[in-house]
Amino acid sequence: MIEDEQLTVDRTINGRSRALLQSVFREDRFFLVLSVFIGIFSGLSVVCFRFAIGWCRLYLLGSGAVLTTSRLLLAPTLAGLVIAALVIHVFPQTRGSGVNQTKAALFIYNGYIPFRTAIGKFITAALAIGSGHSLGPEDPSLQIGASLASVLGRKMNLSRDRMRLIAPVGAAAGLAAAFNAPISAVLFVIEEVIGRWTAGILGSVVLSAVSSVVVMRWFLGSESLFRIPVVQLERPSELIAYCVLGVVGGLASVLFSEGIATLRPRCKALPLWTQYFQPGVAGLLIGIMAVLGAPQVMGAGYEAMDEAMHGRFTWQFMALLAGLKIVATLLSFVSGTPGGMFAPTLFIGAMLGAAVGGAEHVFLPHLNVSPGTYALVGMGVLFAGFLRAPMTSVFMVLEVSGNYSIIVPVILANTVAYLISRGLQPVAIFDLLTRQDGVDLPSMEEQREEGVLHVEDAMQRADGRVVEARETVGSALQLAEKSSADDLLVKLAPNGWGIVAKKDLRRMLAEGMGELDLNSVVSGVRVPYLHPDQALETALRYVDRWAVVPVVNRADLWRLEGVISERDVLERYREFGEG
Amino acid sequence: MTAGRVEELRAYLRQQPAMLALVAGLAVVFFLAVTGLSRAYQAQRESLGSRWFGRGVADLKAGHFDGAVTEFRSALLYSPDDYSYQLNLAEALIGMKRTAEASTYLLTLWERQPDDGLVNLELARIAAQKERTDQAQRYYHNAIYATWPDDAEGKRRDARLELIEFLLQNNARAQAEPELIALAENIGDDAAQQRQVGDLFVRTLDYERAFAFYRLSLRLDRHNQAALAGAGSAAFQLGRYPEARRYLQSAVAGNSDDAESAALLKTTELVLAMDPFQRQISMTERNRIVVEAFATAGERIKGCGALQSLSAAKSGQPSPNESWAKMKPRVTAAGLQRDPDLVESAMDLVFEIEREASVSCGAPVGKDHALLLIAKLHEGN
């Protein structure tokens, strides 16, 4: 008896504690906590990745700023051969863009990214970048973060919805740590990977990005990626000069994208045995460029960007470097060497910007041109034009420089470049890569630009369909008989709507209910209402249950703007589909 | 523990809180591992950075700026924010005359530490090279009032000296003078510095202060040749010829190669020998001097065609040439003995002739120069 009572008490306590734990660890809350851990793991991994790149660079290329010819030629070539063997035999998943693989995890594989991908990307990208291949560490960092997040999510037995989102959460953490820029990382992932905002997604992405940046700063310091003097826009006429930079950047973006669009399929179509040599040959050609006087094109190129900002190079040389970097990055990327295009994009933009600034300084000496400012704006321009992430490009420039004073030129030049690039190259680079790989992932840019139908596009006029609730059934039927519509909308106090069919009114009249007011007949059932600006798909939720749905003014819910029925909605969609 | 309880515990462990605790533990282990890795990585980078920096400093000292730039850049690969690496790189770039690049680095450093004396001084020098006077002055002033790691007073004084030099080179004497006065108030008992200040006062044409500083310098080092020459020159400019003679004699005696002082001494002695208004000379001596001066003026007229061609002035006054000729018969030792007032009128005419001649026929030399200086000395008397 006593044992039974004890057992009952224990069970009650266990039941309560379980309930408490379940309420504390509701999946949405748990997901937020997990996001912090994803950020920590991603931050730590990215720090290790940076160390690995540093060590590869040191042992493969040497410790000085000036490198020997033999190392310049041998390091990228031999590393390329090793990377090719690793990619073909050990880590086949490391080919391609980390952004697209994260999107694929989100939209195709329910958040699954193999852990092997993270390890492969870590090793091969560190070797490639450290040996001088013209690629950047950001995209691999993003993928390492996404892969780690995917592993954690699987171990935690998350629901399918959460699992799908976990890869982008890790991607944001990886990118934030790589760039030391949490806002840009969050924006990029929302803008380019997930494509939508909700409080839950935003909270997780922000938490992971912030925690990874905190970890990264703990180990590598909190300095901005670039340091340039504060510059003031003294005359509005200077904005014209930045517009010119936007045009040049837009055209360069198109050239870069076209290069990838043309060369990548051709390289992939070459016989299989050539894939063992493609990264090596790319490395050799990049080494030759370096030996011939442009070692700046090797690796991510952050040091060269910093030097460009400090006016070390002539504008002609910087223009040349921009061109060579496009070629070097094309070689590295299309040969299948793992690595990202963020840093090369920034490099090309910085060099183009500084070159345009330098040229303007020569030809228009009255303009207050600072190479550092132009280089910084140039980075944003290429980011907007080539990667097609206009919002991210603006915040990225602000974050990597810690300099708010150039916001106006950045916005202007980025917009110009984005519009030119979009006009001349309709398919964004990430979409181009997925299509080349035979995958149909949703294009965030196309989604942004897609025309959205609204309720007002399908609604019909409501002439003669509205009656007051105080009207009797008889008078309402008289009104209904004059109208061609089968249903009347009834204004219900204080601000709702009801509906009554013509046939029901006839039936009620026949049953002797002609003197009853409509309020007593329809007040129990209120019809949902819509607003003209709501998406047409919202109407689909109601039109199958209600013959007509009132479309009312947002400021006055009794003011009817129109009505909408299932037929109207379908008809409008049909017209839209026919173009 | 019953089997049921064990099973329940296992179930708990499989639940999310337990998994989270496990993940937290893993995070701590990972963090510690990365901390160890980070220390090794940073130590290696610091070591490489300081090795390259050491080489750069050696090359900078040896004047091998090209090598120094490469080495400082290599050092900056490992510590991009290191203040002294950047500063030394900027100095090496200045050494290579790549001032535009250097100034960008310096401006970055200036933003980090606007009160760094050396950064301000280098920026001032670059601005001075580019003839941006206002900017140069601002940076020089910053350097003067900035913090310096060692010998702050000396560095500030040197910065002010550079500023004064810059202002004087740009003919901004009015701006240079207050700086010089401020500098003069801050120098200690250093003969060389006091002499240097004296030299600078000479360049601002403030001979009174220059003379005072030369004398201060000589009090500390009475055999300082430069101070002796400077004091003699300043006294000469002030018209204090007896003192000028004394200092210049010492200067020339100490340094026979000092031709400038020797020439000044010669002129000084001529001035002293040809001044009839000195107090401690006899009347006979004075009359002799007047006769000689009058004759010298006559020679000056003969040597100056412009003065000879001057006819009677439009105002009806006789020309200096005519006056001289008219007065000549009376200006003898006996004539002056008879008429003491003639001394003054004769010397007035002499002074007038020398002034006119210096305007019409160029700068006088020898006795003519001495007479002109005597004229200036007694101007207004």
The model's pTM: 0.72
Instruction: Let me know whether B231 and B317 are in one domain.
Output: no
Beta bridge partners, A294, equal: none
Structure tokens at A368: 């207050």
Instruction: Let me know whether A87 and A54 are in one domain.
Output: yes
Domain region containing B222: 191-274
Task: Give the domain CATH number at B217.
Answer: 1.25.40.10
Structure tokens at A321: 């470097």
| Residue A175: inside a domain | yes
CB B328 within 8 A of CB B353: no
| Residue B76: inside a domain | no
Contacts of B107 in chain A (CB under 8 A): 229
Residue A468, judged by CB atoms within 10 A of its CB (0-12, 13-18, 19+), counts as: middle
Instruction: Let me know whether B373 and B316 are in one domain.
Output: yes
Kindly report, residue by residue over B177-197, the tens digit of the pLDDT: 888 888 888 777 788 888 888
How many separate domains does chain B show? 2
More confident call, A57 vs B359: A57
What are the angstrom distances between the C-alpha of B18 and each of A296, B12, B14? 50, 7, 7
Instruction: Tell me which of A192-196, A386-390, A478-482, B304-308 is least confident.
Output: B304-308
| Residue B53: inside a domain | no
pLDDT of residue A19 exceeding 80: no
- Band (pLDDT 50/70/90 cuts) for residue A22 is low
Kindly report, residue by residue over A425-464, the tens digit of the pLDDT: 888 888 888 888 888 888 777 777 777 889 999 999 887 7
**A235 closest CA partner among A404, A364, A81:** A364
pLDDT of residue B270 exceeding 90: no
CA distance linking residue A111 with residue A39, whole number of Å: 17
Instruction: Let me know whether A471 and A426 are in one domain.
Output: no
| Residue B26: inside a domain | no
The H-assigned helical ranges of A463-515 are 473-482, 502-510
Instruction: Let me know whether A459 and A434 are in one domain.
Output: no
pLDDT at site B36: 96
CA distance linking residue B381 with residue B377, whole number of Å: 9
pLDDT at site A282: 96
Contacts of B113 in chain A (CB under 8 A): none
Instruction: Let me know whether B252 and B215 are in one domain.
Output: yes
How many separate domains does chain A show? 3
Kindly report, residue by residue over B35-53, the tens digit of the pLDDT: 999 999 999 999 999 999 9
CA distance linking residue A378 with residue A386, whole number of Å: 12
**A38 closest CA partner among A126, A165, A196, A181:** A165
CA distance linking residue B367 with residue B371, whole number of Å: 6
Instruction: Tell me which of A224-238, B60-74, B120-134 is least confident.
Output: A224-238
Is A30's CB within 8 Å of B111's CB?
A: no
Interface of A with B in 441-460 (CB under 8 A): none
Coil vs helix vs strand at A497: strand
Pairs of residues, one from chain A and one from chain B, whose beta carbons lie less than 8 Å apart: 89
| Residue A271: inside a domain | yes
- Band (pLDDT 50/70/90 cuts) for residue A61 is very high
| Residue A226: inside a domain | no
More confident call, A309 vs A60: A60
Q: What are phi and psi of A448, to 5 degrees?
A: -65, -40
**B40 closest CA partner among A51, A63, A45:** A51
Chain A CA closest to residue B41: A51
CB-nearest partner of A156 from B19, B45, B52: B19
pLDDT at site A385: 94
Instruction: Let me know whether B263 and B317 are in one domain.
Output: no
Instruction: Let me know whether A426 and A286 are in one domain.
Output: yes
Residue B173, judged by CB atoms within 10 A of its CB (0-12, 13-18, 19+), counts as: middle
pLDDT at site A228: 65
| Residue B41: inside a domain | no
Contacts of B73 in chain A (CB under 8 A): 65
Top residue of A18, A57, A310 to mutate, by most chain B CBs within 10 Å, is: A310
Coil vs helix vs strand at A454: strand
Beta bridge partners, A340, equal: A136
pLDDT at site A303: 86
Contacts of A41 in chain B (CB under 8 A): 27, 30
Q: How far is A304 from chain B (nearest CA, A)?
A: 11
Is B48's CB within 8 Å of A44's CB?
A: no
Domain region containing A105: 27-220
Instruction: Tell me which of A25-29, A334-338, B355-359 is least confident.
Output: A25-29
Beta bridge partners, A490, equal: A467, A498
Instruction: Let me know whether B254 and B313 are in one domain.
Output: no
| Residue B287: inside a domain | yes
Instruction: Let me know whether A342 and A425 are in one domain.
Output: yes
| Residue B219: inside a domain | yes
Instruction: Let me know whether B221 and B247 are in one domain.
Output: yes
pLDDT of residue B315 exceeding 60: no
A154 close to B (CB below 8 A): no
Kindly report, residue by residue over A251-305, the tens digit of the pLDDT: 999 999 999 999 999 998 999 899 999 999 999 999 999 999 999 999 999 888 9
Which domain-ending residue is among B220, B255, B274? Answer: B274
Q: Name the interface residues of B facing A (CB cutoff 8 Å).
A: 8, 15-17, 19-20, 23-24, 27, 30-31, 34-35, 37-38, 41, 44-45, 48, 52, 70-71, 73-74, 76-77, 80-81, 100-101, 104-105, 107-108, 111
A424 close to B (CB below 8 A): no
Instruction: Let me know whether B237 and B287 are in one domain.
Output: no
More confident call, B269 vs A71: A71
Task: Give the domain CATH number at A41.
Answer: 1.10.3080.10
Instruction: Let me know whether A336 and A216 are in one domain.
Output: no
Instruction: Let me know whether B287 and B340 are in one domain.
Output: yes
CB-nearest partner of A47 from B15, B34, B101: B34
pLDDT of residue A56 exceeding 90: yes
Instruction: Let me know whether B373 and B300 are in one domain.
Output: yes
Can you count the helices (H) and strands (E) in chain A? 25, 5
CA distance linking residue A375 with residue A381, whole number of Å: 10
| Residue B67: inside a domain | no
pLDDT at site A227: 66
Kindly report, residue by residue over B285-309, the tens digit of the pLDDT: 888 888 888 888 888 887 777 766 6
A372 close to B (CB below 8 A): yes
Q: Amino acid identity of A574?
A: R
pLDDT at site B98: 86
CB B112 within 8 A of CB A229: no
CB A209 within 8 A of CB A182: yes
Instruction: Let me know whether A466 and A498 are in one domain.
Output: yes
- Band (pLDDT 50/70/90 cuts) for residue B100 is confident
CA distance linking residue A318 with residue B236, whole number of Å: 62
Is B37's CB within 8 Å of A48's CB?
A: yes
pLDDT at site A224: 73
Go through chain A and tell me how many residues it has: 579
Instruction: Let me know whether A462 and A434 are in one domain.
Output: no
CA distance linking residue A221 with residue A177, whole number of Å: 11
